[in-house]
Structure 1
Amino acid sequence: MTVEGLVKHFPVKGGFPIRRTVGAVKAVDGLDFTIHAGESLGLVGESGCGKSTTGRLLARLLEPSAGTIRYRDRDITRANRRQLAPIRSEIQMIFQDPYSSLNPRQTVGTIIGGPMEVNGINPPGGREARVRELLQTVGLNPEHYNRFPHEFSGGQRQRIGVARALALEPKLIIADEPVSALDVSIQAQVVNLLRRVQRELGIAFLFIAHDLAVVRHFSERVAVMYLGKIVEVGDRQAIYERPRHPYTHALLSAVPEGVLDEVIDERLEEVTDEETADEEAAAGRRERIRLTGDVPSPTNPPSGCRFRTRCWKAQDKCAAEEPPLVRLSGNAEGHLTACHFPEEGTTLARGEDIIMKAG
């Protein structure tokens, strides 16, 4: 899937007695990225930066305001319901809240088998046999076919959501904060399940999350989003070890000392010896940057670089010109950054902590 210039503005209504448009919430304001077949792209950023809106745009649950979405060389930006029907089964979504994303009046069998019925799919052996197979795939008891969602825990409900997404054998799954509503002890189980599914079935993922530790070990590439814009994108090693955008530096430094390194080892499986050694070498020596205040309003974002009101390196040029998302000198191929005055490619501690207030 390829996205070019993707925009989504939500109109703000005002006035009395006639309701008229007085502004717009610029939730997504010009995104360019590609999700390659079989890969996992992580999308990270603060709450309100437009991550979930981006996911819903790609799933065509929302209508884009502008831009282009191409899936398998086909433009689906303005495709209607009939035109989307042949590919709807290939793009599935896992929602954030496992409690509200399942119909409490339907059994697990109906929930998982529903997509197959809607799309007229009759797998060999019948739909019930396929649903029971999917329940086993996601680590649930096939005998729970006739149970209702309220009889399951949060982690089990999210597994049901994963099984529902897999029912149509999709090529792309958009996972919108799939573990953020779960207890920490359960998060690793769901993440490991998704990693196994991606590895065994070759499904591409857009993994939306704010947990940097989880994203680091699930996604091959990572895109950092701020106020409707992607400010940096690259492979996970480049983003986590050699970030260039000040906002990426701030996000990484916000993780408490040791958490990014220790929690991963405890919660996620298959951490290689080399990865563990690299993380232990970096532990305790990372830089400290603290951003206070809220992100500026998306109805009236700052001119030029949107991060400039919270950036310690901002200059007049940052207010006058919007930095393009380009490859900087010293960056690896595919590592793009949008900054006029990029940081050094390191997360090592600096001379003193940086504390910035929103301006």
Structure 2
Amino acid sequence: MSPLLQVTGLTKHFPVRHGLFGRRVGAVRAVDGVSFDVAEGESLGLVGESGCGKSTTGRLVARLMAPTSGGIRYGGRDLAAIGAREMAKIRPEIQMIFQDPYSSLNPRHTVGTIIEGPMEVNGIEPPGGRASRVRELLETVGLNPEHYNRFPHEFSGGQRQRIGIARALVTEPRLIVADEPVSALDVSIQAQVINLLRRVQDDLGVAFVFIAHDLAVVRHFCHRVAVMYLGRIVEVADRESIYTRPAHPYTHALLSAVPNPDPDGRNGREVIRLTGDVPSPVDPPSGCRFRTRCWKAQEVCAEREPELIDVGGSGHRAACHFPEVTAGPS
């Protein structure tokens, strides 16, 4: 069966201009040849450092911006090749949850108006009326239906994010792009929101592209994980393979930064401290983009870009000339 979402060679370059007449002198390669797929009802986590291109990838998938090149096939149609009118017909099926619950909700609108908005834009008339549907969704996300006439400033951050989730669900989407949906929340509230999203996925069968930098959150929510570095995916696998048998040195470094509950360091990972800064996406290194910070880099890493190839079966792939793990568990 074909995947619900299939991204191939996705690229987004932002022009760099200089001088009085805005002459183009280069481009920021925010996303540079990203490929992945998401099955119906599956959750794929996109992780990496700030500036790696994961949020831009999410916005491209949701068609909030147009790609420079590449394909975004959703339900058999290439979203990168269709116009705004055709995209408007598909828009209800692809929704987005934004990172900041304080800026993503209009402070002048009531909760009811905010959640009804997508229904009004897409001409959706649910049985029983829009107001009834909104109250039903408020209950689904753990809020009181009586909150219908309240304004965003009357809610906490966690409650605002629940409103954002209700807004994303109102069109009954098949795919939700969640752009760091819990990073702006307190740790105690993060667990509540993640559990809510898991329940939504279990009950409604919604597929997720879940963008985050917190690996613990991704492990709790996602079926598969794709690790991004400087605009490209360097490793992708199911969550257990990523966390127990990481193949790419960058993935090792990310995992070593996760706090270890063992204070004496027993049974924990070796802490890897990367040297140097992330290279500029305007002028990325030749060959492997991670080589300038990698302790395993050799001459071939500068000469030839590694391909994303199978390193351990079961769809575990890594873009590294010297992957650290090549065999599955015994």
Amino acid at match of 1:295: V
- Residue equivalent to 2:109: 106
Q: Which moved more, 1:337-346 or 1:132-141?
A: 337-346
Q: Which runs of 5+ in 2 are unaligned?
A: none
Q: Per the alignment, do residues 229 and 283 of structure 1 end up closer, same or farther by CA in structure 2, a change over 3 Å counting?
A: farther
* Contact kept in structure 2, 1:257 and 1:283, CA below 8 Å: no
Q: 2: CA distance between counterparts of 1:248 and 1:18?
A: 43
Q: Are positions 1:60 and 2:63 aligned together?
A: yes
Q: Aligned-pair distance for 1:345?
A: 6.0
Q: Which structure 2 residues correspond to residues 1-359 of structure 1 after superposition, within 5 A?
A: 1-15=5-19, 17-258=20-261, 284-328=267-311, 331-344=312-325
- Residue equivalent to 1:265: none
* Contact kept in structure 2, 1:231 and 1:325, CA below 8 Å: yes
* Contact kept in structure 2, 1:303 and 1:322, CA below 8 Å: yes
Amino acid at match of 1:122: E
Q: 1: CA distance between counterparts of 2:143 and 2:315?
A: 39
Amino acid at match of 1:301: P
Q: 1: CA distance between counterparts of 2:10 and 2:65?
A: 12
Task: Report SS of the residue matched to 2:16.
Answer: strand
Q: 2: CA distance between counterparts of 1:145 and 1:69?
A: 36
Task: Report SS of the residue matched to 2:273.
Answer: strand
Q: 2: CA distance between counterparts of 1:128 and 1:251?
A: 45
Per-residue CA deviation, residues 282-341 of structure 1 (Å, 9 max, x unaligned), is: 96431221113321110010000000000000001000000000102xx02211110001
Amino acid at match of 2:24: T
Per-residue CA deviation, residues 25-67 of structure 1 (Å, 9 max, x unaligned), is: 0000001100111000001000000000000000000110011
Q: 2: CA distance between counterparts of 1:292 and 1:256?
A: 19
Task: Report SS of the residue matched to 1:24.
Answer: strand
* Contact kept in structure 2, 1:241 and 1:345, CA below 8 Å: no
Q: 1: CA distance between counterparts of 2:268 and 2:250?
A: 19
Per-residue CA deviation, residues 57-108 of structure 1 (Å, 9 max, x unaligned), is: 0000011001111001111103211011221000000000000000000000
- If the length of structure 2 is used for normalisation, what is the TM-score? 0.95
Q: Which runs of 5+ in 1 are unaligned?
A: 263-281, 347-359
Amino acid at match of 2:286: S
Q: 1: CA distance between counterparts of 2:66 and 2:325?
A: 39
Per-residue CA deviation, residues 118-169 of structure 1 (Å, 9 max, x unaligned), is: 1111111100000000000000000010000000000000000000000000
- Residue equivalent to 1:272: none
* Contact kept in structure 2, 1:41 and 1:207, CA below 8 Å: yes
Q: 2: CA distance between counterparts of 1:246 and 1:340?
A: 11
* Contact kept in structure 2, 1:25 and 1:298, CA below 8 Å: yes
- If the length of structure 1 is used for normalisation, what is the TM-score? 0.88
Q: Aligned-pair distance for 1:245?
A: 0.4
- Residue equivalent to 1:279: none
Task: Report SS of the residue matched to 1:290.
Answer: coil
Q: 1: CA distance between counterparts of 2:210 and 2:182?
A: 11
Q: 1: CA distance between counterparts of 2:314 and 2:198?
A: 25
Amino acid at match of 2:316: H
Amino acid at match of 2:200: V
Amino acid at match of 1:300: D
Runs of 4+ in 1 over 3 A off after TM superposition: none
